[in-house]
Amino acid sequence: MSRPGDWLARRNGNQRLALVALLLGAGALAIGDVDSGGRVTLDTRELAAIVEGELDHVTPEELADWIVAGRADYRLIDLRAADEFDRYRIPGAERVAIPDLLDAGLSRDERIVLYSEEGIHAAQAWMLLKAHRFPAVYILLGGLAGWQEHVLYPVEPVADAPIAERAAFARAAEIARHFGGGPRAATTAGAALAPALPTPEPPRIAAPVAPPAGARPAAKRKREGC
Amino acid sequence: MSSPTDTAHGGTPRAPAPYMNPYLAGIGLGLVLLASYLAMGRGLGASGAFSSACAVVVGAVAPAHAAGNSFWQDYLQAGVGHPLKEWLVFEVLGVLAGGFLSGVIARRVRSVVEKGPRISTGGRFALALVGGALMGIGAKLARGCTSGQALSGGAVLSAGSWAFMLMVFAGAYGAAWFLRRQWR
Amino acid sequence: MNLPLFKFGAFGDEASLLVAFLIGIGFGFFLEQAGFGSARKLTGQFYFQDMAVFRVMFTAIVTALLGLFYLGWAGVVDLSMVYVSNTYLVPQIVGGLLLGVGFTIGGYCPGTSVVALATGKLDALVFVAGIFLGILAIGMAWPGLEGFASSTDLGRLTLPEVLHLPFGAVVFLVVLMALGGFWGAGALERRFADRDPADRGEEPS
C-alpha cells in the first residue's frame, strides 16, 4: 500500500546497501564532530580512593632502588623546564612538558613515574593522564626536592640511634654516592640544608646491575605502520 | 556462494565457485579492518612484513651493513624479542592461511601461471618481477602499500594516504595503456 | 568499554601476535573471496573491464570509517589512540605513482600477492621475489634516500583538518564519493565491455 514500501521492495540488495550507507553518512553529517581526546571523563570516586589510599606514590628511595637494579619496566618523566632539566635530572628521566604529555608516545601498558620540582605539576599531570585512562601513573613523592633530601643527601642518624637505623643509613649513603651525592651530618636543629644538586651532567650509576629476571627488556621500537 | 555446478556429484571436478559480490566482500574486509582498529588500534598491512623478513636476511648475511643502516635497524629493532615476532609478520601469515582457506572452500587452489594468451610464461614472470620490485620501492618510499596506506590510512582519513591512493590509481591507469596487450 | 583493547592493556605483546594471525585470516579470506588472488581480475580495474578493486576497496573504507565514526561518537573507542600514519606528502605521491605502475605491470599488490600465492599462482611467487628485490634496493640505497623519504613531513594530518570540515561532514563526502563511484564504475564497465570480448569469458559470475 505505502509507496515508500513498494519503492524499497523494488530495490535490489546492492541498492539497499547503498541506501544504508547514505543514511549513515547523512547521520554522520548531522552529528558533525566526534570528540577524540580533548574532552575526557573522570571516575571521581575511583580517583579519590587512589589518592586516599596513597596508591599513586613512589618514594624516592624506591625509585633509587629501581634505578640501581637497572629496572626497565617504567618510564620516568621530568615535567620541569628544559634548562632545569639540562642542569640536573634523575638518571633515566625524559623531559616532557605538560601540554605535550598526551603526544609524548606514552603507552597505557607501561608504568609511568612523574616528577616535578616539588610535586604540584606532577599531581596535575597525574590527574591529566588518569583522566585519559592511563592505568599505571605514579608521582615521585616530594618531587625532585624529595629526591635530593632522601636519596642524594640522606641525613646521618644521631650516634645513639638503633643498629637497624644505622645499617639502613649505610646503604642509603652508598646509594647516595652512586648518584653523586653523599650523606650529611645531623645537627641539633634537625638536618642541615641539603647542598646544591650535583652538577652538571647527572653522574652515571657506578655499578649498573643486570635487570632482574622477569623485567621487560629495554623499550624497543614499536612499529605501527608498514 | 552457490553455483549451478555445486550440485554436480560424482567424479567430475567441480568448477570454482563464483567470486563474492564485491560489496559484500568489501563489507567483510571493512569489518576485519574495523576489528583490527578496535582490538589493536592499528590497521592492516602487508609490505612491512616483507621488510621485516628482508631485514632479517640482510642482518644475517651482511651484519656490518645492517648495523650502520637505519632502514634495516628500524625493522631489526622491532618485534617481541625477535624481529620476526612482529605484528605484521603474523598478520601476513594469517593472510596466507585465510587466502588458502577461502581458495579451498571456493575450489580455486590450483598451481598455475596466470597470464594472457599472447605472452610467454617467461615474459609473464619478467613482468611480475619488475612489477614486484617497483611495488617494493614505491611501498617503502610511501611508508606503506595498498593495504597499509590506501585501505587502512584511507579509513582513518589520513591526508597522505588519500594522496597516495589517488596516485596509485593515476600510476596504474597511466601504465595500463602501455601494457594493454598483457592480458589479451 | 575501553577500545582499542591493546592500547588499554587488555592483552600483551605475545597475545597481540595471535590477534594479528586471526585478523590476517579474515583479511586473506575476504581478499580471496573478492577474487583478488587473480592478477587478471585485479588488473581488469585498469582497463575498465572489472571495477572490483574500486568497489571492494571503497566499500571496505566506508564500512570501517562508518564503524569508527559511530563507535567514536558513542564513546566506545578512543579515536585519539587509533594509529594514523604520518603524512610525508611528496614521497607518498612519488611512491604511490611507482606502486601504481608496478600494480599494472606485475598484476598484484603486496597483500593480494600473498593471497595469490596461497591459491597456487606461480606468477605471484615471482612477484613476491620482486618485492624483496625492491625492498633490498631501497634498504641499501637508504642513506642516500632518507632525506627525500622524510621530506614534507606534515605529521598526523587528516582530511577533516585539511578541508576544515567536521569529521562527520568528511564521512558523508566519502560515502557520497563511494556511491557515485560505484554508479560510475557500472557505467564504465558497460561502456568498455564490448571492447574486449575475450576478457569477459574469464568472469566466473
Report the residue from A28, A109, A224 with minimal CB separation from C171: A28
CB contact under 8 A, A108 and C85: no
Cα distance from B137 to chain A (closest Cα, Å)? 13
Mean confidence (pLDDT) of chain A? 78
Neighbours of chain C (3+ CB pairs under 8 A): A, B
**pLDDT for B34:** 97
Dist. CA B83–CA B66, nearest whole Å:
13
Contacts of C20 (CB under 8 A, 6+ apart): B40, B87, B88, B89, B90, B91, B94
Does residue A23 lie within any of the structural domains?
A: no
What nine digits make up the cell of C59?
566499500
What CA–CA distance (Å, rounded) separates C1 from C139?
A: 42
Which one, of C144, C146, C150, C172, lies nearest residue C159 by Cα? C172
Touching check for A225 and chain B: CB below 8 Å? yes
Judged by CB atoms closer than 8 Å, whether chains meet at C73 and A34 is answered as yes
* Average pLDDT of the residues of chain C: 90
pLDDT attached to residue C1: 59
Instruction: Give residue C129's pLDDT.
Output: 96
**pLDDT, mean of residues C12-28:** 94
The residue among C60 and A50 whose pLDDT is bigger is C60
> Chain C interface, mutation test: which of B80, B135, B158, most C Cβ atoms within 10 Å?
B135
- A138 and A171 share one domain: no
pLDDT interval class at A187 (50, 70, 90): low
A52 touches chain B (CB under 8 A): no
Q: How far is B51 from chain A (nearest CA, A)?
A: 8
pLDDT tens figures, A7-66:
888 888 899 999 999 999 999 999 988 865 555 666 777 778 777 777 788 899 999 988
Contact predicate A108/A135, CB 8 Å: yes
Q: What is the pLDDT of residue C103?
A: 95
Task: Specify the pLDDT at position A8.
Answer: 81
Residues on chain A touching C80 (C-beta within 8 angstroms): 36-37, 102
Res A72: pLDDT: 79
User: What pLDDT, on a 0 to 100 scale, did the predictor assign at position A214?
Assistant: 38
Burial of C138 (0-12, 13-18, 19+ CB in 10 A): buried
pLDDT of C204 strictly over 60: no
| B109, C117 contact by CB (below 8 A) | no
Work out the pLDDT band at A221, boundaries 50, 70, 90: low
Chain B residue numbers touching A34 (CB-CB < 8 A): none
User: What CATH number should be reported for the domain holding residue A50?
Assistant: 3.40.250.10
Better-scored residue on pLDDT, A206 or A163: A163
Distance from CA of A21 to the nearest CA of C (A): 7
Shared domain check, A162 and A97: no
Does the residue A92 lie in any domain? yes
Do residues A139 and A48 both lie within one domain? yes
Cα–Cα dist C131/B140, whole Å: 10
Mean pLDDT of C31-58: 94
Distance CA A12, CA B137 (A): 43
Is the domain of A109 the same as that of A176?
A: no
Choose between A129 and B172: higher pLDDT.
B172
Positive or negative, the CA dihedral C84, C87, C93, C95 is negative
Q: Is B45 on the interface with A (CB under 8 A)?
A: yes
Provide mean pLDDT across the span C85-108.
94
Residue-level pLDDT at B2: 43
Structure-block grid coordinates of residue B167 = 596516485
- Which residues from chain A sit within 8 angstroms of residue C73, using beta carbons? 31, 34
CB pairs under 8 A between A and C: 82
Query: Residue A124 domain-assigned?
Result: yes
Interface touch A223/B145, C-beta < 8 Å: no
Length of chain C: 205
A65/A81 Cα distance (integer angstroms): 26
**Banded model confidence at residue A163, pLDDT cuts 50, 70, 90:** confident
Contacts B117 to C, Cβ<8 Å: 198
Residue in chain A closest to B145 (alpha carbons) equals A226
| C174–A34 C-beta distance less than 8 A | no
Kindly report, residue by residue over A54-100, the tens digit of the pLDDT: 778 889 999 998 898 888 788 999 999 988 898 888 998 999 998 88
Quote the pLDDT of residue A45.
76
Does A140 lie in the same domain as A54?
yes
Phi, psi of C30 (to 5 degrees): -75, -30
Asked if the model's pLDDT at residue C41 lies above 70, the reply is yes
Nearest CA in chain B to A15: B23
**How many domains in chain A?**
2
- What's the gap in Å between the CA of A225 and the closest CA on chain B? 7
Residues of B in contact with A224 (CB under 8 A): 41-42
Residue A57 lies in a domain: yes
Domain interval for residue A131: 44-145
Identify which has the larger pLDDT, A133 or A154. A154
Which residues in chain B come in under a pLDDT of 50? 1-10
Q: Which of C33, C83, C97 sits opposite B25 (nearest CB)?
A: C33
Q: Read off the pLDDT of each residue in C134-163 and give the average, rounded to a whole number.
A: 91
Does C142 contact B69 at a Cβ distance shorter than 8 Å? yes
Residues A48 and A139 in one domain: yes
Instruction: Please tell me the distance from the alpha carbon of residue B179 to that of residue C40, in angstroms, as a whole number.
Output: 13
CA A35/CA B6 separation, integer angstroms: 50
Give the global pTM.
0.75
Predicted pLDDT at A195: 63
ipTM of the complex: 0.92
- Sole residue written with cell 598491512: B45
Q: Is A37 helix (H, G, I), strand (E, B) or coil?
A: coil
Do the Cβ atoms of B161 and C85 come closer than 8 Å? yes
pLDDT band at residue C127 under the 50/70/90 scheme? very high
Q: Are residues A107 and A171 in the same domain?
A: no
Do both A95 and A73 map to the same domain? yes
pLDDT the model gives residue A211 = 39
Contact criterion met (CB < 8 Å) for B74 and A220: no
Interchain CB contact of B92 with A (< 8 Å): no
Q: What percent of chain A is modeled with pLDDT above 90?
A: 19
Range name among A61-70, A203-212, C189-198 with the lowest pLDDT average: A203-212
Predicted pLDDT at A210: 38
Using a CB–CB cutoff of 8 Å, tell me whether A120 touches chain C. Answer: no
| Partner residue opposite C2 with nearest CB, options A22, A24, A133 | A133
Same domain for A48 and A141: yes
A214 and chain C in contact, CB less than 8 A: no
Same domain, A65 and A158: no
Of A26, A109, A135, the CB nearest to C172: A26
pLDDT surpasses 60 at A201: no
Q: Whats the size of chain A, residue-wise?
A: 226
CA distance C16 to chain B (A): 7
Q: Is residue A173 part of a domain?
A: yes
Can you tell me the mean pLDDT for C186-205?
64
